[in-house]
Amino acid sequence: MLLFFVAVCLSLLLSPQENKKYFYPNLPIGNNSVGLIKVEGIINKADEITSKIDVFRKNPKIRVLVIFIQSRGGGVGPTQEIVSAIKRFKKSGKQIIASLGSVATSGGYYLASATDKIYAYPGSIIGSIGVLMMLPNAEELLKKVGVKMTIIRSSEHKDMTSPFRTMTKKDREILRLLVDDIYTQFVEEVSIGRKLKKQDVLKIADGRVFSGKRGKTLGLVDFMGTRNDAIMEAARLSGINGEPRVIELKIKKSLIPSFSSIINTFPSWLRGDLLINNNHILHYVWN
């Protein structure tokens, strides 16, 4: 425990801010290369993933990109930012293929729906098309410990998400409209990306999850296959004969792990990955 405490303190004090411009490939990039980006864990930030997509987009030797997704989703903002980077990549005339891991739900599936082709395992868990807003309420707890909050607000709904008071009916109606708006954006993106009718997407967009096999039947997935299958398809699209050279972009990091990386190693049932670097109220996440 003492060593853990020391490691946490050192990581907070000494871990440098990473300069996202300093990427380096794991192998030399040649004409037989296929780019690979991994999106793993809760999507709380977008800058590293979007930067990698843009680096591959600007490299003429990379004509197809594979994005491997192992995520149950995350914040609405970073998810939509990564989708924008995917669209920029496609607009440049290049193709991008999604390979879904054991779980690619909500925001994870949102990313996949923006790509050209989707591979999934038959047993992958996908879907969960929907929006989640999580707002804690500590009002009763504060009463028990004898703490009372004084809130001075400019207007009635300025503190509608405050954890220090019970939400009013009008507050709930306003936030419901917000959630519905974000939900509609999700449905429309899936409809466009997957070339499905909006009413067909709405029939399955109630937060439920599907197996990869079932997702293929519903039009949410194109092919059953592994990440290697997706990479080989990318090689075929690039005109590469034989095994392609798979290129990943790395960032040189401190030898001392960051506090958030330590927290994110906690078992998922502790929700450690939702505690750190999470400034989002609205989530595309399977919870």
Who has greater pLDDT, 280 or 62? 62
Q: How confident is the model at residue 20 (pLDDT cuts 50, 70, 90)?
A: very low
**Which amino acid, residue 286?**
W
Convert the pLDDT of each residue in 43-88 to its tens digit.
999 999 999 999 999 999 999 999 999 999 999 999 999 999 999 9
Q: Is residue 4 part of a domain?
A: no
Distance CA 148, CA 211 (A): 48
Residue 75 sits at the vertex; the CA angle it makes with 50 and 71, to the nearest 5 degrees, is: 75
Is 90 one of the annotated active-site residues of the chain?
no
Q: Is residue 27 part of a domain?
A: yes
Catalytic one among 158, 170, 198, 252?
Answer: 158
Contact between residue 10 and residue 256 where contact means Cβ atoms under 8 Å apart:
yes
| pLDDT reading at 16 higher than 90 | no
Q: What tokens were used for 27?
A: 């192998």
Average pLDDT of span 225-239: 96
Residue 31 sits at the vertex; the CA angle it makes with 26 and 35, to the nearest 5 degrees, is: 45
Who has greater pLDDT, 4 or 211? 211
Distance CA 218, CA 184 (A): 19
Q: Is residue 6 part of a domain?
A: no
Catalytic one among 71, 106, 128, 162?
Answer: 106
* CA-wise closest residue to 65 among 24, 122, 115: 115
Who has greater pLDDT, 166 or 115? 115
Average pLDDT of span 199-219: 97
* Sign for the pseudo-dihedral over CA of 276, 280, 285, 286: positive
| pLDDT reading at 18 higher than 60 | no
Is 106 one of the annotated active-site residues of the chain?
yes
Q: Give residue 52's domain range.
A: 18-285
Q: Scanning the structure block, which residue is given the tokens 């306003």? A: 174
Convert the pLDDT of each residue in 234-272 to its tens digit.
999 999 988 999 999 988 665 555 555 555 555 444 444
3 state SS of 216: helix
Q: What is the pLDDT of residue 262?
A: 55
CATH, residue 87: 3.90.226.10
Left, alpha or beta for 207 (phi > 0: left; psi -120 to 50: alpha)?
A: left
Q: Is residue 43 part of a domain?
A: yes
Q: Is residue 157 part of a domain?
A: yes
Which ranges constitute the DSSP H helices of the chain? Answer: 2-14, 47-58, 76-91, 107-113, 139-145, 169-194, 198-204, 212-218, 227-238, 259-263
Distance CA 142, CA 108 (A): 37
3 state SS of 236: helix
Q: Is residue 95 part of a domain?
A: yes
Q: How many domains does the chain have?
A: 1
Q: Is residue 121 part of a domain?
A: yes
Q: Which of 1-23 are b and which e, b meaning 16 or more Cβ less than 10 Å from the residue's Cβ?
A: eeeeeeebeebeeebeeeeeeeb
Q: Is residue 11 part of a domain?
A: no
